[in-house]
Amino acid sequence: MTGTNQHQQPVQHAIDAADHAILQAQDAQHKLQVAITEANPNAIQSAQAALVQADQQVSQAQRQLAEFANDQFGQQIKQTFEQLNQAAQDIEANQEKFHTPKQVR
């Protein structure tokens, strides 16, 4: 029994890190939406920084989770990996909103 539990700890740690990264990405995206709605340049800049940090967390979580992709925890890891991929796509879409220069007259 103990061997199984010890084997599950790294997997559970990777899943927990992935869940945290997903929540961080969602929070950063929400901050960005609020900042855009308020048209607050400082809040937008802060939200962009949060998006960059969330993107790094998601990437790190993806790498951690990939280590266990062929393990016995296949379905749970697959589902979490899909959520991470969605979070990464959402972050990228939000970041692209500000890479296009806007003309102000």
| 26-62 confidence digits (pLDDT tens) | 999 999 999 888 888 899 899 989 999 999 999 999 8
Check whether 87 has a pLDDT greater than 50.
yes
pLDDT at 40: 87
pLDDT at 26: 92
Per residue in 95-104, is it b (16+ CB within 10 Å) or e — as a string? beeeeeeeee
pLDDT at 99: 54
Cα–Cα distance for residue pair 74/71, rounded to 1 Å: 6
Q: Nearest-CA neighbor of 83 among 56, 101, 61?
A: 61
| 57-78 confidence digits (pLDDT tens) | 999 998 888 887 665 667 777 7
Q: Nearest-CA neighbor of 71 among 14, 2, 1?
A: 14
Check whether 2 has a pLDDT greater than 50.
no
